[in-house]
Amino acid sequence: MRLTCTINGEPREVDGLWEGESLLYVLRERLALPGSKNACEQGECGSCSVYLDGVLVCSCLVAAGQAEGREVVTVEGLAPSEDELHPVQTAFVEAGAVQCGFCTPGLIVATHDLLARVPNPTDAEIREALAGNLCRCTGYEKILDAVRLAAAS
């Protein structure tokens, strides 16, 4: 099977896929985009969150074939250039919200999605938007600080 889609603004084509491959597997293993993490493979942790046609999805639950002809944006695609971070990414670094880093890409994409919809979210809105993302290292306070910082920038 062949997959043709746009990933992070670039047309991409991948040959030799089997029907059961997840979009997450294709991104990480076939396209060398390791930002999205493989943690639960059940859509429970949010570590693999990406945009699919502008909608936040868990890429571990999306069959690669479902991305045919569509646009995918990963955490790597949020940054304006290779030398510059997106303001959400910068806020996570500055707030100390990056611990082991496993949950961070999904949290950053979810935060990006939240701030696109709600530029100045309340704490309740932040908690609701990030409810699908699990972090096993923190008490979430620094993550909340990062979202608040990103919203203020």
Does residue 135 lie within any of the structural domains? yes
Instruction: List CB contacts of 81: < 8 A, sequence separation 6 or more.
Output: none
User: What pLDDT does residue 137 have?
Assistant: 86
Q: What is the pTM of this model?
A: 0.95
**Sorting pLDDT into bands at 50, 70 and 90, what band is 82?**
confident
Q: Residue 112: pLDDT band by 50, 70, 90 thresholds?
A: very high
Domain's final residue, options 20, 45, 77: 77
Residues 73 and 40 in one domain: yes
Distances (CA, A) of 99 to 57, 102, 105: 23, 8, 12
Which tens digit of pLDDT belongs to each residue from 127-139? 999 999 999 887 7
Separation between Cα atoms, residue 31 and residue 27, nearest integer Å: 5
Q: Give the per-residue pLDDT at 19.
A: 84
Indicate the average pLDDT of the chain. Answer: 96
Same domain, 63 and 100: no
62 Ramachandran zone, left/alpha/beta (phi>0; psi -120 to 50): beta
Q: Give dist(CA 100, CA 107) in Å, integer.
A: 13
Q: Which domain holds residue 146?
A: 87-152
At residue 120, what are phi and psi to the nearest 5 degrees?
-125, 75
pLDDT in tens, 12-59: 999 999 989 999 999 999 999 999 999 999 999 999 999 999 999 999
Pick the more confident residue, 84 or 136: 84
Residue 82: inside a domain: no
- The answer to whether residues 68 and 103 belong to one domain is no
What CATH number corresponds to the domain at position 134?
1.10.150.120
Q: CB of 82 within 8 A of CB of 144?
A: no
Residue 99 pLDDT: 85
Q: Residues, the chain, total?
A: 153
- Distance between CA atoms of 30 and 16, rounded to whole angstroms? 10
Q: Are 22 and 82 in contact (CB under 8 A)?
A: no
